[in-house]
Amino acid sequence: MNFYLFAKFKYLFYFYNNNNFLLKNQNPFQKVPNKIIELIPSNRIIWNYNKQQLQYQLLGFQLQVGQNFYEFLAEELSLNKLKSFLSQRIFQAKFQDEYKVENQIGKGNYARVIYIYIYIHIMKLFKGVRYAVKCFEKQKLYDIDKGMVKIIYKKYKFQKINKQKLSLYNELRIMRCLTNHLNIIKLFEVFEGENTFYFVMEIVDGTTLYDEIKKHSQTPYKDNEVKEIIKLLIQGIDYCTQNNIMHRDIKPENILFSKKNNKIILKIVDFGLASFVNDDPYIFPKCGTPGFVAPEIANLVDKNSGYSAICDMFSIGIIFHILLTGEAVFLGKKFNDVLKKNKDCIIDFNKPIYENLSQDCKNLLQRLLEKDPIQRINSKQALEHPYFQTQYMKKMSIDDVSSSQLESFQIRQKNNSLFTTPLRIPYLTNDESQQQVIQDNLNSFVTRDPVMLAQNQKLDPSNAFYYTIGRSNIEYNS
């Protein structure tokens, strides 16, 4: 617990930080604080700078709590310490005071609600350090909810909160718990502008694992590369599990990939669908991407029932399968075909494509793709699996394969690779005849339960209403 000395006009105050609270005292060692300020996302802080100098100097801050504003001054050293503590916990104002924008590097969107966020390069003023920032436009958040009831969510004291804004707050809540692992994207600061929310994150000079795998659509991965990628993924998910967090949308598009000095760097990103295991109920109970989602989520009926973080291990199993064989586990030309096979989760491990896998490799794959989550291998067990102790994952080297076997293997790689015909949620279309088909497809997996109340119906604080929706990478048909 740190303390900071501030002056508000002629009065002295001591601030102590205690996880998600600021404690304000008039005396340094008093037992009962004068004020306890909970650090919830709806609060905002405005840092005051001396802009007359070449390098801005911190002078103080204004703290907005509800409709109230509190202004304080302090020495720059104390302010910097406080800023470091608060920057992930509440939204800061005046993003442009601290960063300059360089260029856009990518974009994503929410499934079915056509809400787009963008990633851009930014640079910290005066320090020359580059970051990535994830930007959410407020107007698009609010437009989505036109005509819908605002959510009441107990974690935010039953405030009326816009549904997608709640998702944003939840993503912040998740990411600030995941700040100390090499395989998880790091969040540094959050800002709220007049029109935009900003998540400032570390930048990874590379591409997604999806793009990286496409480069291998004609050539198999090397044994050691597959092993390293899967081990890094499991280590990242193990860290999430230790923090009681499940990602729920693990797929190649949500994994950043790069190499430095021949060493693979891998980062799990996009925690928009993530949840704490003990959240009750989940904001998005039934969500994910068909072909990658765990069967217990895809088959969920009672949205008030829970599941565990082991759901992410199934998704890792799908990626493992793709890296090993070049094929998706659940092949299908239509959305519902893939989803049905994903739900049924019937996998024949006696097929020829598995013949060349070593016993340890095949065993780990089977245990990752176990339909029953109780029987599925967890992250700790997986990291201790013999597969990661053995040198080779295949029974024979490519030199030992006959020419006919090699030709057959190459043809299978070329014709059936997921990455020559990638599986995706169906494109949105303006064709009215196809709208119902697409809507049925989407509703068959990512469920939608809007709760609409009559104007004369009162809101009961004992209940929580949810609008269940998923987010994924939809591409638009021009």
pLDDT in tens, the chain (478 residues): 565 667 665 567 777 777 778 888 888 888 888 888 888 878 899 999 887 766 778 889 998 888 888 888 888 888 888 898 889 889 999 888 888 877 766 665 443 322 334 555 566 666 677 888 888 887 766 655 443 333 334 444 434 555 567 788 889 999 989 988 999 999 999 999 988 888 998 888 888 898 888 888 777 888 899 999 999 999 999 999 999 999 999 999 899 998 888 889 999 999 988 999 998 878 888 888 889 999 999 999 887 788 999 999 999 999 999 999 888 899 887 878 888 999 999 999 999 989 989 999 999 999 999 999 999 999 999 999 999 987 655 554 444 444 545 454 443 343 333 433 333 333 223 344 434 433 433 333 443 332 222 223 333 332 222 222 222 332 222 2
10 Å Cβ neighbour count for 54? 7
**What is the dihedral sign for C-alpha 85, 90, 96, 102?**
positive
Measured distance CA(40)–CA(88) in Å, rounded? 11
In the chain, what percentage of residues exceed pLDDT 90? 30
* Residues recognised as catalytic: 249
Strand, helix or coil for residue 130 = strand
Nearest to 373 by CA among 307, 329, 304, 321: 307
List the alpha helices (DSSP H) in 163-222.
163-175, 209-214
Measured distance CA(356)–CA(405) in Å, rounded? 11
Measured distance CA(224)–CA(115) in Å, rounded? 39
Residue 66, sorted as left (phi over 0), alpha (psi -120 to 50) or beta, turns out to be left
Q: Is 134 part of any known ligand binding site?
A: yes
Which residue ranges form the domains of the chain, and what is each CATH number?
3-93 (2.30.29), 99-203+430-443 (3.30.200.20), 208-416 (1.10.510.10)
Task: Determine if the pTM surpasses 0.75.
Answer: yes
Nearest to 66 by CA among 151, 156, 5, 135: 156
Measured distance CA(62)–CA(72) in Å, rounded? 6
pLDDT of residue 299: 93
Cβ burial of 336 (10 Å; 0-12, 13-18, 19+) is middle
pLDDT of residue 141: 66
